[in-house]
Structure 1
Amino acid sequence: MSKADRIILQSLQEDARLTTAELAERIVMSTSPCWRRVKRLEEDGYITGYHAVVDAKKLGYGVAAYVLVGTESTHEADTNTFEEAVRAMPEVLFCYGVSGSDDYILHVIARDLDDFYESVFNRIRRLPLVKRTQTMFAMKTVKASLAVPVAP
């Protein structure tokens, strides 16, 4: 990956609304070759989408929690059912399969504790294969970033 590609990736992570002309200026290149580089980075899967970062609190989501989930089975056919159900839950922002005593960690948002209780106990705990859950509430945001470091 070239230095120009790295600058493009870093710049778009900082501000995805940059125009091709603004990107080209940052890498000292004309707009057409810059546009082709961006398209190639998209086609090659380095850039997977463009998103607006939304403030969950402003939309009324005052609770953020991390839910560890232990399942009864780790067989692929079984876990596919669980994972499809989690993908369909809009209050689950992230779900990672993890190593250790639990199988998944979910980042969940809710409007308040009652809403969280309903989401976790009436939905997550009833998902296929769920054997146990453990919840940790986020008390303070120290860092929140989706930016991936682009090594030189």
Structure 2
Amino acid sequence: MTNERSAATEWLENDTIQSLLKEHLDETDYRIYKALNEDGRMSDTELGERVGLSRTAAHRRRKKLEEEGIIDVLGVLVLQEADFAYADVFVKLSSEATVDELDEFLETVKGDEFIYEIEEYMGTYDLLLRVWHATLGDIQSYLRTQLQCHDLVAKYEAMPVTKTHKAWHKPITN
């Protein structure tokens, strides 16, 4: 009951959350998001208990949020816990590249199993690629083969991540 009450209170008292989300979510949708963010594997029965709905109503609302693309329940490999090396790689693309070439490059990196996140930016760099591998040396070799010789990549800068304190709104502890 304390978790339910604090989630409801957070929604009611946080004006920023209200203004950002009220076009797409109501209080119950937000509480579903918060609960699934803590444990995406919980059953619809447990979800319903956490947010004050029946199992059927919780299932229906969760499915609707998934179908609308508002939430996405996925499994995440916590690289730090698995003792893998990972890095943020900032990429500046060639200003000579055509839209089709850029789209093709994005499709290629989207399908790469060592890239687990891609963000587009405006400014000095165009893309952030989050990459992982067994060791930092493997990341360096991988980046040389994938980016250094690619015609669309004007430059890139890799920053190894030494520790993640919070990922996907969940604290990471060692």
Q: TM-score range by the shorter chain?
A: 0.7 to 0.9
So what's the TM-score if we normalise by structure 1?
A: 0.82
Q: Are 2:89 and 1:26 equivalent residues in the alignment? A: no
After TM superposition, the structure 1 = structure 2 runs for residues 133-144 of structure 1, keeping only pairs within 5 Å, are 133-141=156-164, 143-144=165-166
Q: What is aligned with 1:38?
A: 62
Structure of greater relative contact order (alpha carbons < 8 Å, 6+ residues apart):
1
- The Cα offsets for residues 81-123 of structure 1, whole Å up to 9 and x where unpaired, read as 2111211221111121111122111111121133112101111
Sequence identity, in percent? 26
The answer to which structure has the higher helix fraction is: 2
Moved more, 123-132 or 100-109: 123-132
Work out which of the residue numbers 81, 88, 91 in structure 2 matches 1:69: 91
1:60 Cα offset (Å): 5.1
Q: What is the aligned counterpart of 1:92 among 110, 115, 140?
A: 115
The two structures have a TM-score, normalised by structure 2, of 0.73
Instruction: Output the CA distance in 1 between the equivalents of 2:81 and 2:67.
Output: 35
Q: How many residues align?
A: 145
User: Which residue number corresponds to residue 120 of structure 1?
Assistant: 143
Question: Mind listing any 5+ residue stretches in structure 1 that lack a counterpart?
Answer: none
Q: What is the aligned-residue RMSD (CA, Å)? A: 2.1
Structure-1 separation of matches of 2:94 and 2:117 = 21
1:52-63 aligned within 5 A: 52-57=75-80, 59=82, 61=84, 63=85
Task: Identify if the C-alpha distance between structure 1 residues 91 and 43 changes in structure 2 by more than 3 Å, giving closer, same or farther.
Answer: same
Contact 2:88/2:128 (8 A) holds in 1:
yes
